[in-house]
C-alpha cells in the first residue's frame, strides 16, 4: 500500500472564493467559484452521485479503491466498527464572501429522516486570516421556535446574524461546530475543516446567494428541518481554542468532545521525529519542509502538499522543520 499524493478536488459552489486555496496548493487557477477543496473524499454533494469524489493519481475513484480493499485502506478495527466508510471528510475552505447562516443535522436526526448514520458535526482550524476575519458560532441568547421560523420565512438576515456569537478568526484558532448549532464563516479566511462525511445543510438564509430556498430544508420542508436546529444559547468558550506562543510539537486543537467524530493534531517534529501509528490519515503540510518515511516509501513534504496515508502503509516517521495537520477518523471504540 502506497502513500498517495492528492491533487485538488474543487467542485463549483454557490458562494465565491478559492484564491487562497489555489495559492496554497500551487495552482494557476484564478476561478473564484471553487471555494472548497474536498480531500480524500468518498462523499458526494447532496443530491449528486459523483460531484465531490476524490480521483486518485491512477484515475481510479478513491471510493472504488476503498471498496475493493477496505482493510488495507482503513484497517481491520476500523472496518469492524464502521464498515467500508472512512467516517471522515476533510476540506480546505476559502470564502470570498460570508457564508449564509446555516446548521447541520445530528446523527439521530439524519438516521430517522435522511437514511444516513452520520450527521454533520464539523470543526475549523484557521490557516490564514485577514485582520478583520470572523466566524459566527451559536446563538447568544435562546430563540423561541416561532421567532426562528419567522426570521427564516421572512429572510430577516440582520436578526439571524445578530443573534449569533461573532468571533475573531486568527491564524491558529480552532473551533468545534456541533451538529445543530447555527453558524456561518466570514470571508477572508483559509481554513481546514474536518467533518462527518455528509453534505447535509439546513440553510436559514439564502437571500443574496445562488440558492433556491427549497435546497435549504433537505427535501423535508422547513417545519421538520428546523427541528434539527439548536435554538439554545451557546457558551462558545468550550468550543474554541487559540494556538499558544510556544508552538508545541504536538497540538490537539479541538476539545475532547470532537474525538467521537474525528481527530486532529498539529505536528511540528523540528529536531526530533514524530512517529505515526497506522491509520487512515490525511496529512496537510502548512509550513516548512520535511519528510515522511514509511517502511517501503519516503515522501518529501512542502507547504501545500496533501497526502493520504492508508492504514496498510504501516507506521511512519515525520521529520524535518515542517508543520503538518494530521486528520484521522474517530477511534473504532469511540462509538
Identical fold for domains 4-241 and 250-328, yes or no, is yes
What does the domain layout of the chain look like in residue ranges? Answer: 4-241, 250-328
Does residue 26 come out as left (phi exceeding 0), alpha (psi in the -120 to 50 range) or beta?
left
Half-sphere exposure of 132 (CA within 13 A, CB side): 2
* Topology of the domain comprising 4-241: Jelly Rolls (2.60.120)
Query: Given this model, what pLDDT does residue 126 score?
Result: 98
Residue 3 CA to its chain's centroid (Å) = 21
Q: Which residues of 293-326 are buried (b: 16+ CB within 10 A; e: fewer)?
A: bbeeeebebeebbbbbbbbebeebebbbebbbbb
Cell numbers 483559509 correspond to: 190
For the entire predicted model, the pTM comes to 0.97
CATH for the 250-328 domain, from 3.40.50.300, 2.60.40.2470, 2.60.120.10, 3.40.50.10470: 2.60.120.10
Longest dimension (CA), the chain: 61
CB-based contact 184:136 (threshold 8 Å): yes
pLDDT (tens place) for every residue of the chain, 335 residues total:
999 999 999 999 999 999 999 999 999 887 788 999 999 999 999 989 999 999 999 999 999 999 999 999 999 999 999 999 999 999 999 999 999 999 999 999 999 999 999 999 999 999 999 999 999 999 999 999 999 999 999 999 999 999 999 999 999 999 999 999 999 999 999 999 999 999 999 999 999 898 988 889 999 999 999 999 999 999 999 999 999 888 899 999 999 999 999 999 999 999 999 999 999 999 999 999 999 999 989 999 999 999 999 999 999 999 999 999 999 999 998 66
Amino acid at each position: 500500500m502506497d502513500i498517495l499524493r492528492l491533487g485538488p478536488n474543487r467542485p463549483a459552489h454557490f458562494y465565491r472564493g478559492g484564491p487562497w486555496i489555489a495559492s496554497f496548493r500551487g495552482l494557476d487557477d484564478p476561478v473564484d467559484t471553487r471555494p472548497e477543496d474536498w480531500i480524500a473524499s468518498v462523499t458526494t454533494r447532496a443530491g449528486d452521485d459523483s460531484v465531490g469524489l476524490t480521483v486518485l493519481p491512477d484515475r481510479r475513484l478513491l471510493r472504488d479503491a476503498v471498496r475493493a480493499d477496505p482493510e488495507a485502506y482503513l484497517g481491520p478495527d476500523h472496518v469492524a466498527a464502521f464498515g467500508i466508510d472512512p467516517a471522515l471528510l476533510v476540506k480546505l475552505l476559502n470564502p470570498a464572501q460570508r457564508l449564509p447562516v446555516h446548521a447541520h443535522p445530528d446523527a439521530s436526526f439524519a438516521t430517522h429522516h435522511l437514511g444516513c448514520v452520520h450527521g454533520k458535526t464539523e470543526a475549523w482550524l484557521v490557516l490564514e486570516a485577514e485582520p478583520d476575519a470572523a466566524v459566527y458560532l451559536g446563538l447568544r441568547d435562546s430563540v423561541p421556535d416561532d421567532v426562528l421560523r419567522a426570521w427564516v420565512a421572512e429572510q430577516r438576515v440582520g436578526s439571524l446574524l445578530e443573534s449569533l456569537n461573532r468571533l475573531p478568526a486568527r491564524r491558529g484558532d480552532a473551533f468545534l461546530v456541533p451538529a445543530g448549532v447555527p453558524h456561518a464563516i466570514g470571508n477572508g479566511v483559509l481554513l481546514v475543516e474536518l467533518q462527518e462525511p455528509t453534505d447535509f445543510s439546513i440553510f436559514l438564509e439564502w437571500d443574496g446567494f445562488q440558492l433556491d430556498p427549497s435546497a435549504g430544508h433537505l427535501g423535508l420542508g422547513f417545519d421538520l428541518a428546523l427541528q434539527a436546529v439548536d435554538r439554545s444559547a451557546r457558551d462558545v468558550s468550550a468550543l474554541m481554542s487559540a494556538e499558544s506562543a510556544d508552538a508545541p510539537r504536538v497540538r490537539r486543537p479541538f476539545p475532547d468532545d470532537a474525538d467521537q467524530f474525528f481527530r486532529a493534531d498539529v505536528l511540528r517534529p523540528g529536531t526530533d521525529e514524530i512517529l505515526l501509528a497506522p491509520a487512515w490519515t490525511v496529512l496537510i503540510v502548512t509550513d516548512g519542509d520535511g519528510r515522511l518515511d514509511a517502511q517501503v516509501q519516503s515522501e518529501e513534504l512542502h507547504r501545500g502538499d496533501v497526502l493520504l496515508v492508508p492504514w496498510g502503509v504501516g507506521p511512519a516517521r515525520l521529520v524535518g522543520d515542517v508543520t503538518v495537520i494530521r486528520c484521522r477518523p474517530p477511534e473504532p471504540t469511540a462509538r
